[in-house]
Each structure stands twice: as C-alpha cells, then as structure tokens.
Homo-oligomer: A and B are copies of this chain.
Amino acid sequence: MKITALILAGGKGERFWPRSRKNCPKQFLSLTGDGKTMIQKTVERILPLVKPEDIFISTNQNYKKLVSEQLPDVPECNVLCEPVGRNTAPGIGLGAVYMRKKYEDAVMLVLPSDHLIKDEDTFRSVLSEAVETAEEESCLVTMGIKPTAPETGYGYIRFLGEGARKNAYKVERFVEKPDLARAKEYLADGKYLWNSGMFVWKVSTILGCIEKYLPAIYSGLAKIEASIGSDGEESVLNAEFDTMPSESIDYGVLEKEDGIRVLPGDFGWDDVGSWLALGRMRSLDGAGNLISGNVVSTGVENCIIEGGDKLIAAVGLKDTVIVDTQDAILICNKESTADIKKIVENLRNAKRDEYL
C-alpha cells in the first residue's frame, strides 16, 4: 500500500522566542548548527520511506511560502493551508481527505515538523513496523518514546504486556501530563511511554474514527473532499473550517478508540520543547556551556548563549539561556524557560507586534 506522510507545520513555536517569530516559527529555523531547518530535517528523515510527492504539509497561509522555499521537492498542491486553526483533529482529517481523494487509501504517517531524532535508522525501522501494523491490523498506531527521566511536560501512554504484535503493544490508556511524583511512578513502572505525537494509520482507519467520534468534523471534511479540484475548493474549505469544532486528535479520537497499538521507540527523540534542547543536541564546552556567536565570557557555567551582531559579555553566570536577535535579546534562567510564553503574551497584550 502507498505510504504517505502528513507533516504538521502550523505551530507558533513561542517557546523559541525571540528567534521563533510569528512570521517564521521554530519549524522553519535551523537550530542544530548544520544549516538545515527543523522541517527540512523532518522530511529528509523519512525520504527513504516516502516519496516527496506523497508528503503533505499541514500548515496555514502565513507559512505557505516558507514551506515551498524550504521544501522545493514537495508539490505545492500538497501544502494544505488551514484557514483557521481548529486543533489537530480537523488538520489531520484535512490531510486524510486529500490523500483519500488522490489514492483512495494509503498508510499515513503523521509527524510533527519540529522534533529531532538522533538515530534515524532505528527511527525508520520502528516506523516501518508501524506501517506494517497499521496496514495489516487496520488499527491506529502511535509511536511511544521510552522515558529516560520523570518528565512532567509530556503525556504518557501505558501499554499492556500481553497481546503484542511483535513490538506493537496494545495501548491500555493515555494519561495527561503528570506531576513529578506520578512521573516518577510512571518511569519506575516500565510500561509507560512518552506520547510523541507521531502516529501511523491508514487513511481509511483514521477517517472512519473521525466519522465515528467527531461526526461534525467529518461532515465538514467530506464536503471539502467533494470540492477538491473544483472552482469552489477554497471557498468550501474556508466555510467548513469557519464552523468546524476545535478538537485535538488525542482527546477526540485516541482516548475513545479501542485497539490502539503503540510502538516503543528508543531512537534519541527530542521534541525540542525549549531552548534547553540546544544543550542536549550539541556538544558542550568543559564548563557545560554551549556558546556561539559574538560572545566574551568569564566564570560562566552551564549556559546556552547564542550571540548575534551585538557583543555579549557574560560574567559569572550559571544556568542561563541568552539568545540575541536583531531587535530583541532573551536572558532566561534555565528553570524558567516555560515562562518565555508569558513574555510573548505580554508583548501581544501590549500590541508590540514588531517583536512577535
């Protein structure tokens, strides 16, 4: 069966402000020092499994040009722009109906555009087993990550020991982001995985689930599908998204469906959820620092410093993230990276759009 992919690239990436901006969020930035953007790396990673013409991008009008520039091999007609954000269920459903229109059915990878994976060979081999499972079992398959720490920032998936199909375990339940005590229990338990947000299923399977659990969304998607290729395509898309309910694929489908399988992955996954990820991705100096650009420092430990045009002089700092850009500089305690969103929120409230 044809293998297709839907890359989710509509995110705002606010946790990577000030480099991530409204007009160029995280997935379109190069953060790894190799000159490739996150979305370019995401596509390259799956090219051994999926042809460029079978890769679809879920994004919005603001980023259409960036996608085309950064992914010239992906056909423009595969760049699907949601008129308004309606969370992941309508977005994934939109990709699925375009695929159904083109291929009737296919196995569909659903992948975020802003994750990093160190061991790509292992990743693709897990992905291949997921494809096989999704095709032969006609079930939803999710990729779980073997936890290495009691993370409170991820949702978890508990799987059952019995009933596995090779490495594809039966999902017992999805659990929301835990507090630290629970996260420690989950880590010790051994049957919990991090929910990576990467899914594999047949187009027919996921659309069947959306029809079953989210009929209002399905009805809109069906109208859009009927309009594909017609003169009314754009106006139907706009009209249906305008009234479509907002729902996530996790709450709307995964937590309701039975028989979901999860493949435990151990391939150096990183969701690049904050500036701290840079320190995990790249090699540090002897004092635990990652320093690049126009920086002079003395007595600095465990810091991440991205210099820009202006000279940064860092003195006696510990556990601090500094990111310089053309018009703004972030100076953030490593423990407070989650609060970067507050800064963006404050700027938005103050209508300082030039910094967004």
A residues neighboring B (CB under 8 Å): 17-18, 296-299, 310-318, 320, 322, 324, 327-333, 335-337, 339-340, 342-343, 346-347, 352, 355
A114 to B257, alpha carbons, bound, how many Å?
74
Please list the 3 inter-chain residue pairs (A to B) with the smallest Cβ-Cβ separation, ordered nearest first. Answer: A316-B336, A316-B333, A315-B332
A75 to B18, alpha carbons, bound, how many Å?
51
B327 near A311: Cβ-Cβ < 8 Å: yes
Add 7 more A-B contacts to A299-B336, A314-B331, A318-B333 (CB < 8 A): A18-B313, A297-B343, A298-B336, A310-B327, A313-B328, A315-B330, A317-B333
Report the minimal beta-carbon distance from A73 to chain B, rounded to whole angstroms: 37
Report the minimal beta-carbon distance from A292 to chain B, rounded to whole angstroms: 16
- Closest residue of chain B to A343 (Cβ to Cβ) is B313
A330 to B331, alpha carbons, bound, how many Å?
11
Contact of A310 among B329, B337, B339 (CB under 8 A): B329
Query: What are 19 sample pairs from A and B whose C-beta atoms fall under 8 A apart?
Result: A18-B311, A296-B346, A296-B347, A297-B343, A298-B339, A298-B343, A298-B346, A310-B329, A312-B329, A313-B332, A313-B340, A313-B343, A315-B331, A315-B336, A315-B340, A316-B335, A316-B336, A317-B331, A317-B333
Q: Which residues of B contact A317 (CB under 8 A)?
A: 320, 331-333
- Closest residue of chain B to A307 (Cβ to Cβ) is B329
A313 near B296: Cβ-Cβ < 8 Å: no
Contact of A332 among B310, B316, B352, B355 (CB under 8 A): B316
- Closest residue of chain B to A350 (Cβ to Cβ) is B296
Report the minimal beta-carbon distance from A213 to chain B, rounded to whole angstroms: 39
Q: Which residues of B contact A342 (CB under 8 A)?
A: 298, 315
Q: Which residues of B contact A337 (CB under 8 A)?
A: 315
Report the minimal beta-carbon distance from A98 to chain B, rounded to whole angstroms: 39
A333 to B299, alpha carbons, bound, how many Å?
10
B316 near A339: Cβ-Cβ < 8 Å: yes
Report the minimal beta-carbon distance from A172 to chain B, rounded to whole angstroms: 37
Report the minimal beta-carbon distance from A165 to chain B, rounded to whole angstroms: 46
A342 to B320, alpha carbons, bound, how many Å?
20
A353 to B327, alpha carbons, bound, how many Å?
24
B298 near A315: Cβ-Cβ < 8 Å: no
Q: Which residues of B contact A332 (CB under 8 A)?
A: 313-317
B336 near A311: Cβ-Cβ < 8 Å: no
A317 to B343, alpha carbons, bound, how many Å?
13
A240 to B322, alpha carbons, bound, how many Å?
50
A324 to B311, alpha carbons, bound, how many Å?
10
Q: Which residues of B contact A17 (CB under 8 A)?
A: 313
- Closest residue of chain B to A294 (Cβ to Cβ) is B328
B310 near A328: Cβ-Cβ < 8 Å: yes
Q: Which residues of B contact A312 (CB under 8 A)?
A: 328-329, 331
Q: Which residues of B contact A296 (CB under 8 A)?
A: 343, 346-347
A355 to B340, alpha carbons, bound, how many Å?
30
